[in-house]
């Protein structure tokens, strides 16, 4: 839980911070001007929740998260909301069954089946979980999935992606708890048809609360920032080949960050990253990593969601729009930034 994490967890690995503020990007050659559209308040003030694109309902599903009550206490919820950008409407989805209260979990959208998958996170006890759930958008029904054979260890703040090419969920990293030396370096894939997990042979750098994106065309998982095993914020960008399990160091990103978020932009062949926390607070900057050029580039913004960490980010693959909601406005235990969605339509 955010309030329980010691201050040493926000120390950067390098001891310095390079903050790419939104206004500072405007004069950078090649920087892409970005305009954001703000939507209506709807899902409430949460952080450490999840968001995915729902291709069935042509909207974004937002689940769970943590909130700061008026008394200062922290509360974990299991609300499920649907935001439809075309109509600019929020709908609270009430289901007969659902996962218990959850935060610091991971979700991914399976467009082949029209389902959202959820793995891990923590509940009210703050103990890490390793349960797997799927939400069928058409019937609005949750179902807990019992896998055959070995399953990944319990974890919080992992990365979860769905590969349409492989028809597999891809799970990476996370932490066994909010402590030192708990970072996980394993990669697992889940076969929805056979309900089986398979662990890849390769070992990753061991990160949690990092940003991730899946380049499905080349079968590579991209990871940026996050805490390492010593709970230091990192700036390295990594790539994992899902066929061989081999990891590659792609060099440093814009700055050392945790609780940042990213999506994959296939037309631009790039990873889009926003926000995150560093030792000075939260970042309100955006950048892209191009696989074609092998480098990071900042994005200049005309308007922006503002500095935030522990927020949710998802992308509509049909029109390329990027969705951001929730989070907190500083590093730890700081004001929440509300349930107002922000939408960006990238240019290429």
pLDDT per position in the chain (348 positions), as tens?
443 333 323 333 332 222 222 223 333 334 455 678 999 999 999 999 999 999 999 999 999 999 988 777 889 999 999 999 999 999 999 999 999 999 999 999 999 999 999 999 999 999 999 999 999 999 999 999 999 999 999 999 999 999 999 999 999 999 999 999 999 999 999 999 999 999 999 889 999 999 999 999 999 999 999 999 999 999 999 999 999 999 999 999 999 999 999 999 999 999 999 999 988 889 999 999 999 899 999 988 777 899 999 999 999 999 999 999 999 987 555 688 878 999 998 765
The confidence score (pLDDT) of residue 12 equals 32
Strands of the sheet containing 89-92, edge to edge, are 50-54, 59-68, 74-84, 89-92
Beta pairing class for 115-122 and 106-110: antiparallel
Q: Is residue 293 part of a domain?
A: no
Nearest to 269 by CA among 321, 344, 218, 324: 218
The confidence score (pLDDT) of residue 17 equals 25
pTM of the full predicted structure? 0.90
Q: Is residue 125 part of a domain?
A: yes
Q: What is the CATH number of the domain that holds 233?
A: 2.120.10.80
Q: Is 60 in contact with 83 (CB distance < 8 Å)? A: yes
The confidence score (pLDDT) of residue 148 equals 95
The confidence score (pLDDT) of residue 332 equals 56
Domain of residue 116 covers 41-275
The confidence score (pLDDT) of residue 34 equals 65
DSSP assignment of 15-62: S------GGGGTTSTTPPPB-EEE----S-S-BS-EEEEETTTTEEEE
The confidence score (pLDDT) of residue 18 equals 24
Neighbours of 195 (CB within 10 A): 13
Q: Is residue 27 part of a domain?
A: no
Number of domains making up the chain:
1
Q: Is residue 13 part of a domain?
A: no
Q: What contacts 330, CB < 8 A, 6 or more positions away? A: 277, 281, 282, 307, 309
Q: Is residue 338 part of a domain?
A: no
The confidence score (pLDDT) of residue 64 equals 97
Q: Is residue 262 part of a domain?
A: yes
Q: Is residue 172 part of a domain?
A: yes
Q: Is residue 45 part of a domain?
A: yes
């Amino acid at each position: 839980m955010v309030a329980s994490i010691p201050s040493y967890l926000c120390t950067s690995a390098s001891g310095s911070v390079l903050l790419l503020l939104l206004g500072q990007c405007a004069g950078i050659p090649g920087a892409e001007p970005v305009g954001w559209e703000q939507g209506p308040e709807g899902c409430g003030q949460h952080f450490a929740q999840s968001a995915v694109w729902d291709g069935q309902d042509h909207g974004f599903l937002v689940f769970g998260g943590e909130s700061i009550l008026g008394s200062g206490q922290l509360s974990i919820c299991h609300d499920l909301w649907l935001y439809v950008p075309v109509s600019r409407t929020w709908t609270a989805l009430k289901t007969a069954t659902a996962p218990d209260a959850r935060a610091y979990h991971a979700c991914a959208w399976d467009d082949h089946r029209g389902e959202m998958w959820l793995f891990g996170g923590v509940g009210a006890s703050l103990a890490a979980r390793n349960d797997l759930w799927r939400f069928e958008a058409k019937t609005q029904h949750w179902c807990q999935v019992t896998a055959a054979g070995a399953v990944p260890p319990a974890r919080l703040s992992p990365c979860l992606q769905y590969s349409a090419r492989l028809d597999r969920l891809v799970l990476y990293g996370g932490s066994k708890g909010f402590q030192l030396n708990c970072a996980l370096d394993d990669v697992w894939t889940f076969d929805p048809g056979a309900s089986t997990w398979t662990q890849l042979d390769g070992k990753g750098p061991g990160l949690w609360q990092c940003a991730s994106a899946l380049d499905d065309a080349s079968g590579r998982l991209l990871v940026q920032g996050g805490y390492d095993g010593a709970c230091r914020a990192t700036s390295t960008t990594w790539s994992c080949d899902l066929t061989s399990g081999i990891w590659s160091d792609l060099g440093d990103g814009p700055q050392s960050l945790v609780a940042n978020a990213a999506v994959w932009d296939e037309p631009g062949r790039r990873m889009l990253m926003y926000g995150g926390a560093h030792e000075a607070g939260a970042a309100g900057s955006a950048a892209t990593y191009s696989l074609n050029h092998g480098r990071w580039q900042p994005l200049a913004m005309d308007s922006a969601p503002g500095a935030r960490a522990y927020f949710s980010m998802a992308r509509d693959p049909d029109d390329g729009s990027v969705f951001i909601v929730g989070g907190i406005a500083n590093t730890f235990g700081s004001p929440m930034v509300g349930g107002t969605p922000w939408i960006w339509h990238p240019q290429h």
